[in-house]
Structure 1
Amino acid sequence: MKIWTPLVILLAIVLGVVQMLRPLPAPTLTLTAQSGYAFEGGTPEMPWPSEGQASIDVAGLGSLGSYGKQKSVPIGSVAKVMTAYIILRDHPMKPGGNGPGIPVDDTAVDEAALSAEGETTVELDPDSKLSQKEALQALLIASANNVARLLARWHSDGDMQAFVDEMNRTAEELGMENTTYTDPSGLKDTTVSTAEDQVILGKAAMKDPLFKQIVAMPVYTDSRGDDHDNSNKMVPLHGIGIKVGSTTKAGGNFLFATEKKVAGEQQLIVGAVLGQYAVPQLPTAMEFGRQLMAAGEKALTDMTVVEKGDVVGEVDDGLGGTTPVVATEDVVAPGWGGLKVGLELGTDRSGEVPHEGAKGDAVGVLTMGSGQGEVRVPVALAEDMAEPGIGAKLSRLG
């Protein structure tokens, strides 16, 4: 006993010091509130067209539904949305700027005469330059086929096929599984897609402020002083874009977007109507689009999922201690009848949860939804939180 007792005491002291000096485990945030909520009511009924296919979606929230067999069909000038998307993605423009000057080649000048054969084109001056902004206006508002091909040549150093290949690569990257592009204007009937695929593209394209601005313009004036009306006659009375397209084979097609302020934010609704052959084809497609926009806006509402001050989770210090956290604001979610939404609790931009803090200190973020429909609310300590005490430090294992 005389020999071992001092050694045991010394060992205990050493272990105690080691325990006290060991780094504390990183605190974690755990959700204690319900992880999912459902809006009251049934799924909204949509005024689907009587033929073809259609789809409508709310960005960041989900689909309001689809109609018809989603098979690949010709889409006409709706294909120009992909052309514009690639141009803006690979040649981004500064806000308020006009972008670089695009040399107008002889081909683009000569192809303006194809309007006599039924193509949509704009007149261009030889040996001139179009600003990138005007070229996009001609593409999306006047629906000029000759400018679509000019932009493709400019982007890909004169190689039209290289641009078409890029259109298909981009479609694949976006998850447009039933889409094939064979030209930048959509004139060819071999350029095909589905309503659901075009909604995917529409949501991606509308993230660009300039694209969104252009497709909402009812008219633009070109550098020659000529006015060009938007081929989408819904603008500005209904919606904020996006593009119409029609050929004999494709029928009437309409990729559209509108917005409604819900839960304090503008929620983006994007839809598509394809394959409308009832005469007049294009106005028929646009009318069904208008009805779907109105129905989507009517269906979109909000629900208070969590109220300010509600306990939604806790901080676990890793040593057996927990501190509740509360929402600092109401969590008001946008949605519609039958929609299920999920809650997630995570750290803020620092990526760390503190070991100690005072009541009311922000320690994380409660998130619902994603993208444009995302709702983020800070969470704070419901009471003072102290660093683990001596007892917890000495008794921890592992």
Structure 2
Amino acid sequence: MAARKSEDAPAKRATHTGAKRATAKKPSVAPKSRGARTAMRAERKGGVVRSAGPKVSKAAGLPTRKAAYVPSEPRLSYAQAYGLHQAPDPLDLKSSVALVIDQDTNEILFSKNSQAVLPIASITKLMTALVVVEANQSLDEVLTITEADIDTEKGSHSRLAVGTQLTRGEMLHLALMSSENRAANALGRHYPGGLPAFVEAMNRKARELGMHDTRYVEPTGLSSRNQSSARDLATLVNAAYQYPLIRELSTSPEYQVAVGRRHLQFRNTNGLVFNPTWEIGLQKTGYIVEAGRCLVMQARLAGRQLIMVFLDSAGKYSRIGDAERVRKWLLEEGHGAVTGQPHMPRVTS
């Protein structure tokens, strides 16, 4: 392979007799000062620039001020802004909202702020999958990632470059398992009538299921206007669980797709699917700043089929920790769980 010329390589000098020394052309715009460069870096990082105190100019002996980057205050999630994190609960969960119900009897075993309506981030993709599956579109049809699938809402990264071609089934797999935003958006674009019709189908399905606290504006969850409550999401999990394909794809630990001559390996965003002590039938994670860390699951615990919802958990791994706390509580309180007849008290806060 021919070596590529480095953009940082110095320009060659003229060496023939009588040739003038090559000189670099002066830029038409003066280079930015150190303070200006600091301000630009701060703006890109979402911070602010503050003065770090007086500094004496060596050239003129005049007092100047040295610019310093100071990180801006972190933005609050909706639940934090509403004060929901301050609500106490017996399990000391880090999630602002939690709900655990028996899937077979609808008995509420644990509830914390379960009626709060909040952004749900990529939990949205469960409804995206439900609409795609019920539309009976071919899973073998090849879809193409285009400029329209680039995230302009949050500027998130994707490994699916523009021009990537995958089947609808592969796109669905990546959207559910590794929360691929471009894949989810492409699924919506290729719905009959395009994105507007797809979003309308999402909201229509929510109404059919009785999810009265729920509203969707796009299929990825990147918009904070996609909102729902824990009770509605438990309904969604139960509806999605009825489809074996959604169960299989959402709980797949890893998946590899061929993109041109390359093979890309993707992993599940929920670490619990790699834990053999968990029996998970369906799951989906989600995160944007406005929603915090979110997790919904269907799992068999203490002899029961349960649906668990955790919204706005503070900390990268706290939603997993909350699921483990609930699991431990169920096993400890579930006297007789081995026989399949656990006794689990209700906890409501």
Whether the aligned pair in 2 keeps the contact of 1:115 and 1:121 (CA below 8 Å) is no
TM-score, structure 1 as length reference = 0.56
- Alignment match, 1:79: 124
Aligned partner of residue 273 in structure 2, secondary structure: coil
Aligned partner of residue 160 in structure 2, secondary structure: coil
Whether the aligned pair in 2 keeps the contact of 1:46 and 1:295 (CA below 8 Å) is no
Aligned partner of residue 272 in structure 1, secondary structure: strand
CA RMSD of aligned residues (A): 2.9
Q: CA deviation at 1:188?
A: 0.5
Whether the aligned pair in 1 keeps the contact of 2:191 and 2:197 (CA below 8 Å) is no
Matches within 5 A, 1:34-49: 47=91, 49=93
Matches within 5 A, 1:1-398: 47=91, 49-62=93-106, 63-68=108-113, 70-91=115-136, 99-107=139-147, 111=150, 114=151, 118-124=155-161, 126=163, 128=165, 130-158=166-194, 160-224=195-259, 225-237=263-275, 238-240=278-280, 241-260=282-301, 262=303, 267-276=304-313, 278=314, 280=315, 282-296=316-330, 336-337=343-344
Q: CA deviation at 1:88?
A: 1.4
Runs of 4+ in 1 over 6 A off after TM superposition: none
Whether the aligned pair in 2 keeps the contact of 1:134 and 1:222 (CA below 8 Å) is yes
Q: CA deviation at 1:301?
A: 7.2
Identify if the C-alpha distance between structure 1 residues 60 and 301 changes in structure 2 by more than 3 Å, giving closer, same or farther.
Answer: farther
Aligned partner of residue 274 in structure 2, secondary structure: coil
CA distance in 2, matches of 1:191, 1:212: 23
Identify if the C-alpha distance between structure 1 residues 261 and 91 changes in structure 2 by more than 3 Å, giving closer, same or farther.
Answer: farther
Structure 2, unaligned runs of 5 or more: 1-88
Deviation string 1:192-214 (CA, Å, 9 cap, x unpaired) is: 11112111111111121111111
- Alignment match, 2:58: none
Instruction: Name the % identity.
Output: 24
Q: Which amino acid aligns with 1:336?
A: H
Which has the bigger relative contact order, CA under 8 A and spacing at least 6? 1
CA distance in 1, matches of 2:181, 2:202: 16
Identify if the C-alpha distance between structure 1 residues 254 and 105 changes in structure 2 by more than 3 Å, giving closer, same or farther.
Answer: closer
TM-score, structure 2 as length reference = 0.64
CA distance in 2, matches of 1:127, 1:273: 33
Aligned residue pairs total: 250
Q: CA deviation at 1:107?
A: 3.0
Q: CA deviation at 1:286?
A: 2.2
Q: CA deviation at 1:273?
A: 0.7
CA distance in 1, matches of 2:330, 2:221: 28
Whether the aligned pair in 2 keeps the contact of 1:102 and 1:154 (CA below 8 Å) is no
CA distance in 2, matches of 1:194, 1:285: 17
